[in-house]
Amino acid sequence: MFIRSMNTAVKEHKKITVVGAGNVGATTAQLIAERDLADVVLVDVVEGIPQGKALDILEACPLWRSSAKVTGTNDFDDTAASDIVVITAGLARKPGMSRDDLLKANADIVGRVAEDTRRTSPSAVVIVVTNPMDAMAHVAVKAAGFPHRRVIGMGGVLDTARMRSFIAWEAGVHPGDVRAVVLGGHGDLMVPLPRLTMVGDKCITDILPESAIVKIMERTKNGGAEIVGLLKTGSAYYAPAASVVEMIETMFGIKDEPLPCSVCLHGEYGISGVYVGVPVRLGPEGLEEIIELDLTDDEKQALHESAEAVRRLTGKLGI
């Protein structure tokens, strides 16, 4: 019988709260714990669900060589002093349902979570996952009263990951060699930019035919709906959770690459007062820098149209 050494030091952890113990929230908590990034509090209104899932994740930590503490709770006070709060709580999309259909119901949920976050973790960075994500980020920043740099939407990371996957399959390359650019809202009017999308040192326009690129762009825009249609009773969660963790690792300095995230613009790209996906640099305090790309007139117009679609959603909520 082999006995593993007991001399492994337990590192000091940050604290991350994941709100919502559904598929996205639980998978996010799992990935955080598996990578030993932080202690995790999984919170949900349904009794027993966050406690049971948290315990299951905790019991896997020895196998991952992770010292993360994972707890589940129905009491938001247990999330106090979190460094990051990830909001996944809300209704999931069903077949035939657009992200916009979720607007008012999820706005109420996200607003309450943001208010509780302000009370319990006033210095936290908030990552918003709940759909329609760009509008929900706007709801969260208003309800929490935080600086805009500390409330960030996840969608662009996910959209870009989907596009990279589709390009890799079509071109027969490793997805790690693909660098894709997707701007705009996390919805039907997102703006993939093939002109700035590279495989190694080559633009995809030099590798793939235009017909293939058009199909990839459309599949990227409909990536979430495609999964909803296949699952019938749920929506995507592996890739969204991995996208959140990518943001967290960047905030913690583990990775150092710009990411496309939904942030509130204040004149960048000629857009103000709305959350929209653009390339950014993240740090421990949230948004550090918005990177402005040199866009063509057509790309600018598409980005503005996407931003206006988000603005119409927030307008329906009176914010």
Q: Which of 174, 186, 266, 304 is catalytic?
A: 186
Say whether 186 is catalytic: yes
Q: Which H, E and C letters describe the chain, residue by residue?
A: CCCCCCCCCCCCCEEEEEECCCHHHHHHHHHHHHCCCEEEEEECCCCCHHHHHHHHHHHHHHHHCCCCCEEEECCHHHHCCCCEEEECCCCCCCCCCCHHHHHHHHHHHHHHHHHHHHHHCCCCEEEECCCCHHHHHHHHHHHHCCCHHHEEECHHHHHHHHHHHHHHHHHCCCHHHEECCEEECCCCCCEECHHHCEECCEEHHHCCCHHHHHHHHHHHHCHHHHHHHHHCCCCCCHHHHHHHHHHHHHHCCCCCCCEEEEEEEECHHHCEEEEEEEEEEEECCEEEEECCCCCCHHHHHHHHHHHHHHHHHHHHCCC
- Residues labelled as active-site residues: 186
